[in-house]
A and B are shown apart, each in its own frame.
Chain A
Amino acid sequence: MKKFLAFSAVLALAFAALAATKEVVIPFKQFKLKNGLTVILSEDHSAPTYSIAVSYNVGSRNEKEGRTGFAHLFEHMMFQGSENVAKMEHSTLISTNGGSLNGTTDEDRTLYFETLPANQMDLGLFLEADRMRSLAVTQATLDNQRNAVQEERRLRVDNQPYGKTFEAVNATAYDNFGYRHSVIGSMEDLNAASLQDVQEFFKRYYAPNNAVIAIVGDFKSDEVQAKLNKYFGDIPAQPAAPQPDMAEPAQKAERRKTLEDQFAQLPRLDIVYKIPSGNTPDYYALRVMCQILSAGQSSRMYQHLVKEQELAQNAFAGAGSQRGPGLAQFGAMVRPGKDVAAVEKAIYAEIAKIQTEPVTDAELEKVHMIARRSEVAGAQSTLNRAIELADTAVNFGDANLVNETYKKTIAVTKDDVMRVAKKYLTENNRTVIVTLPKKAQ
């Protein structure tokens, strides 16, 4: 508890109250297999289930120009069969035995996961190991999943209002190719992906020494450790995968772009600023700042822009946690008859205020409570715990960060919030994207 002593008397009282409640800590042990696979085990016998999360240290940031969308297309290929598992057999085996599964790709990492009844531990480990060892791809399965991914792009981007806005935000704000292009990629680049690309990508990035496996739930660690050696132990390590330089040159002037959207009904405003990577003190301060601005109906942006001034249909602020430079994002849907410029001005007024006046004790207290509640809620399912452990280990090299978010959040002071707001929310570091409904032809 001594970590709390540095705080002011008022806060110390608040912590005394909190300290009286149950601490939520996710216990785990971590080790490496001989081939470099990082293993995280967290036993919890409260339900007869377990989850596996395998996080590979590769995402769209690793893509080459001309192959955007490839990391995610590759993720789909991991469900298409391996030496001992046929196409569709992986998902069928998991479902038939009562489990659930999926995979997901973002800029930084690619994640595969499943939850199963506790008596099916061998099944989950075997399936993850088989595709790590021996992915089997054919031109037919590649073409099939290319189609599925292109439909995913149509479904979520090309056929939706504001679908193309987020691509424009990153493409305009970032200079470095790694984050400038979208995870889903372009239709042309997806068309260009070849079988040889798949094989090279697999060899380079899908090695045990480039992955973390986290297992949470109803098992005995020593038994699972033996099974991990049995199923994964003979998968050969590969040379360390190259990691792209994510550095961004300092931005010298505001960037601004206007899009027309044929499906949109309301103008939408997106304002972003480049910020440091996640798990840095400044990142936590920016996150606290964004929560004060927009978490909950009592937040400043909701109360001012939506309720009082009735300028925006909704308004948001958020700080993205990335391995490389992230974005603090501000945005709003502009109400009919209201001026986009007036909404932009109102957001800048909120920013100016948080840069020049300390936030209140009550606002900080709210953020602390949000952190505490999300720590509790996040510890509910075995799957969520496994994902958080694996992802934080891959992205930031320290799985124990899952137990430290609350601490790092309450360490943020009023001065920190003002300082980071002044440092990062500057005109020269800003990108503004305005999405306007396309006028009827």
Chain B
Amino acid sequence: MRKSLICLIPVAFMAAWAQTPQTPQAPASKAVKEAFKNKAPVSKDVLKVKFPNAVESHLDNGLTILILENHRLPQISMTMQIRGAGGLFDPQGMTGLAAVTAQMMREGTITRNSKQIAEEVDRMAASISAGASTDSQYADFFMSGLTDNFVDWFALGTDVLLHPSFPADEWTKLKQRQLINLRQQRTNPSFLATERFNKAVYGEFPAAIISATPASLEAITPEAMKKFWAERFVPQNTILGISGDVTAAEILPKLKAALGGWKKSEWTPKLPADPAPATAARVLLVNRPGSVQTNLLMGNIAINRTSPDYPAFVVMNQVLGAGSTARLFNNLREDKGYTYGAYSSFSAATFPGPWRANAEVRTDVTEGSMREFFNEFKRIREEKVPAAELEEKKRTVVASFALSMESPASLLNLSITRKAYGLPADYWDTYPAKIAAVTPEDIQRVAQKYLSLDNIQIVAVGDVTKIKPVMEKYGKVTVFDSEGKVVE
């Protein structure tokens, strides 16, 4: 990693200029004009991998534990998913409560102050953190470190988890920084796009909100955090995943000793009614004066994680826009040169989330970019995916599983996902077969069902004076300023 990774240098200084963004996923296809030469030596076999199963245990208080041993390196990672403690459960008027409750846990316990916690964490080179985003139903609690001082950092992490004190003076300090963050994030075009998009697609569902406001932060008190923490951080709603240099036999007694006294409750999180797709197409423009690009983000509510359409949707997304070889990238970047990258993606949780397509394009090709996005949406809806392209994409999904074998944390995540969504025990073993079974007809069916152009929600952040005439062709336009206020 980090040849020049030094202390804490903000991203701008790292200046690693890459061929594509550093988190690409998959490959591509049809806007390519040059035929492939097919001369590279390829093994026809897809490497079959047998995923190691995490060992599952339960404590009497209802805590679910998944342990995945891997002794290659002397490090251990623990991640907790606490359902019901995420921002979807923020009380009315206190947006951000879940997030700051999680963040404040490191700022003091009954026996340690903020600085002591910071000192101890850094002395052990451990990581201890908690977080909860406004559009998730989970809070996440994470701790990791070296094997040889595990006992010490685990004790500290457990103290932070079970005995946070939410000191008022620390909240006063943190709140000031958070208020400044709220201002700073409004300079970021992708924040502005996501803020507007989530509001458009989720409607009344709480995932519509992606950020606290100055007023909601001012309404939050240490007492509110204590109450939220006491109600929501409960073991029966929690999955604890452990990966790395441990054995179940060694660690289970330690977990029982440290977490066995964590009191369970009767509380079960309940989400409001599922979000439904918006019914009419809308165009939401956010004016960001001086922008030299237009951030385009569009889509609509689609499926949840347990939908029978899930495997077909995965493959459809691969064809359309997952990564640097899919149709959107091929068309908007490799053919037209409109953008550094064009992609599609989707969220599927216990509730339905949106599919979305996005690109940042220079202002004067906003029109051409919209045309090509819509051409690709129409193509995947109206034409069957050619057999060779479909095979390529299915192979991409299945073959890439081998790479997760390098990372105990990735393997553990598969187990946590399975557990969190109540998927069958053999889910990942049978997943490749489910992907392989997807047909061109399946792709077209899910594209027609979910990628409807009659009700698509389109967000564009940029120089509104230049892009409004173009965007009006796609639906009724509302213009917002960068503070989120309707201006026309």
* Residues in A lying within 8 Å of B, measured CB to CB: 17-18, 20-22, 24, 46-49, 72, 75-76, 78-79, 81, 84-89, 91-106, 115, 117-120, 122-123, 126-127, 130, 143-152, 154-155, 158-163, 165-166, 169, 182-184, 262-266, 278, 287, 290-291, 293-299, 302-303, 306-307, 310, 313-314, 316-322, 326, 329, 331, 333, 335-336, 362, 365-366, 369-370, 372-374, 376-382, 384, 387-388, 391-392, 395
Tally B residues with Cβ within 8 Å of A.
99
Interface hits, B194-225 → A, CB 8 Å? none
Task: Report B-chain residues with C-beta under 8 Å of the C-beta of A17.
Answer: 148
Minimum CB–CB distance from B296 to chain A (whole Å) comes to: 13
Chain B: minimal CB distance from A185 (Å): 9
Residues in B392-427 with C-beta less than 8 Å from chain A: 392, 395-396, 398-403, 405-407
- Within the complex, the shortest CB–CB distance from A437 to chain B, in Å, comes to 9
A48 and B121 in contact, given A106-B16, A144-B334, A155-B340 (Cβ under 8 angstroms):
no
B20 proximity list for chain A (CB < 8 A): 102
Assembly CA distance A419 to B440 (angstroms): 68
In the bound complex, how far is the Cα of B361 from the Cα of A95, in angstroms? 25
The reply to whether the CB of B335 lies closer than 8 angstroms to some CB of chain A is yes
10 further A-B pairs in the complex, CB-CB below 8 A; given A88-B28, A384-B1: A49-B406, A98-B396, A102-B18, A117-B46, A120-B43, A155-B340, A287-B7, A291-B7, A335-B180, A380-B406
A395 touches B3 (CB 8 A): yes
Asked whether, in the complex, the Cβ of B19 is within 8 Å of the Cβ of A76, the reply is: yes
CA distance A372 to B125 in the complex (A): 8
Q: A89-B40, A388-B3 are in contact. Are A21 and B392 (CB under 8 A)?
A: no
- Please give me the 5 A-B residue pairs with the lowest Cβ-Cβ distance, nearest first: A98-B399, A95-B27, A147-B337, A318-B6, A369-B125
Given A184-B15, A303-B115, residue A143 in contact with residue B337 (CB < 8 A): yes
CB distance from A319 to the nearest CB of B (A): 5
Q: Is the CB of A321 within 8 A of B42?
A: no
Are the C-beta atoms of B74 and A278 separated by less than 8 Å?
A: no
Q: Specify which of B15, B49, B291, B401 lies most central, judged by the most chain A CB atoms within 10 Å of its CB.
A: B15
Asked if A48 and B49 make an inter-chain contact with CB atoms under 8 angstroms apart, the answer reads yes
CA distance A320 to B14 in the complex (A): 9
Verify if B257 is at the interface (C-beta below 8 Å from A): no
User: How distant is the Cα of A152 from the Cα of B18 in the complex, in angstroms?
Assistant: 9
Residues in B with CB closer than 8 Å to A150 are: 362
Distance (Å) between the CB of B125 and the closest chain A CB?
4
Q: Is the CB of A21 within 8 A of B403?
A: no
Max chain A CB contacts within 10 Å: which of B47, B330, B401? B47
B111-151 residues with Cβ-Cβ distance < 8 A to A are 114-115, 118-119, 121-125, 145-148
Which residues of chain A are within 8 angstroms of B47 by Cβ–Cβ distance? 48, 98, 117-119
Are B39 and A372 interface neighbours, CB within 8 A?
no
Q: Could you say which of A183, A263, A306 contacts B187, with CB atoms under 8 Å apart? A: A263
> With contacts A81-B34, A92-B27, A381-B406 known, is A318 near B9, CB below 8 A?
yes
Measured CA separation A317–B9 after assembly (Å): 7
10 A-B pairs with C-beta separation under 8 A: A95-B325, A104-B22, A106-B15, A148-B333, A161-B184, A290-B7, A302-B118, A307-B115, A319-B6, A382-B406
Residue in A closest to B27 when the chains form the complex, CB atoms = A95
A86 to B39, CA, bound (A): 10
Segment 12-49 of B: residues with Cβ below 8 Å from A: 12-13, 15-20, 22, 24-29, 32-37, 39-43, 45-47, 49
Task: Give A184 to B338 CA distance when docked, in angstroms.
Answer: 18
List the A side residues contacting B13 at CB < 8 Å.
166, 169, 318, 320, 329
CB contacts (< 8 Å) of B335 on chain A: these are 144
- Kindly state the separation between the CA atoms of A303 and B17 in the bound complex, as whole angstroms: 33
A18, A49, A169 interface centre (most CB from chain B within 10 Å): A49
